[in-house]
Amino acid sequence: REPWDHTRMGDREAQYAADKAFMENLLSRAPFNEYDAYWCLCSSKHHGVGVLVKRGIKPPISISRTLTIGQTTSDDIDTTEGRVLILEYERFVFMNSYVPNNGAKPDRWERRRLWDARMEAFVKHHNAPGRKPLIWCGDLNVAHREVDVGPQPEMFVHTAGFTVPERQRFGQILLKGGLVDVYRALHGDRQAFTWRSHLGSGGPIRAAYDWAGMRLDYFIASASLMPRVKSIRLSTDSMVEEFARLRPVTCFFGSDHCALFLTLHPHDASDASEAKEHAKDVICISD
C-alpha cells in the first residue's frame, strides 16, 4: 500500500469512501464552495483537523503538519494522527490542533506530557523577536482554571483535561509563548463551556454529570496581536444555561463541542477602533 496522504480525504475502505463522497458533495455546495479546504487527516475517523479559507485570500506562504521546528514532513503524532495544521500567512501564523486527551493510564499521561513539551518548544520558537504572531485554535483538551468547569470543580478532580499537571503545563505554554487566552482576556471570569456531556440516566452521580461542562476549545493569540482583537464569543453565549445544556444543533452541529467566533480588526486600520472603509474584519471560526 502507498503511504496515507494526510492532505486529502481517503477512500481505501468502503466506509471512508462513503464519508469522502458525502464531504465532497457538502463542500461543493454554498456556502462551503466559497472556501478552499486544507487538511491534516488521520487514517481513521477518530482524528483530523481542517481549515476552510475564504477564496480571494492569498494562499498560505507555507503549510505544515507537525510541531517539529523546521520540518513539514509527517511524524508519529502530529501528522499520523491528524492533530496539527499550521498555515503561515503574511502577517500571522494560524494553527489548528486537536490535542491528545490525557486519558486515565500512565502511558497516556506520558504521551500527553511529551505533546505539551513539544508545544511549549513550538510556541517559544514563535515568540522570538522577529517572528510572526500566532493564532492557535481548536480542541486543546484542557480546562485551564476552575471557572472553566462546572457546575462544581469538585466533580472534575482527576478528570482528563482538568488534572493539575495538564493545567500547569498549559499555563507554562501560554507564558513561554507570550500567548493570551482571548476569551478570558475579553470576558474575565465569566463561566462558559465549549464541551457538554451527553445527557443520559444512571442514578444521582450520573445525573449530576449529565449537566457537566468544560471549556476545552480556545482561540489563543500572541499578546502582540491582541490590539487587533475585536470580539470573541461562543455560539452559546446568548443562551440561558438550561437551553445550552441541551446542545442545540444550531450551536453544536451534532457534536458535543460548540462553535467559537473570533473577529479581528483589519490590519491596515489606523487604529483598533477606526478601520479604513475598504478594509474588512477577519473572522475566524473554530468548531
Q: Are strands 179-181 and 260-264 parallel, antiparallel or unpaired?
A: unpaired
* Catalytic annotation present for 98: yes
Contact (Cβ atoms closer than 8 angstroms) between residue 182 and residue 217: no
Element (H, E) at 137: strand 134-139
Contact (Cβ atoms closer than 8 angstroms) between residue 49 and residue 98: yes
Q: How many residues does the chain have?
A: 287
Q: Which of 38, 98, 183, 218 is catalytic?
A: 98
Q: Give the rounded distance of the alpha carbon of 216 from its chain centre.
A: 8
What is the SS3 assignment for 265?
A: coil
- Across the strands, what pairs with 135? 94, 221
Contact (Cβ atoms closer than 8 angstroms) between residue 95 and residue 137: yes
* Catalytic annotation present for 209: no
Q: Which of 78, 139, 181, 217 is catalytic?
A: 139
Exposure on the CB side of residue 174, measured as CA atoms within 13 A: 19
Known catalytic residues are 98, 139
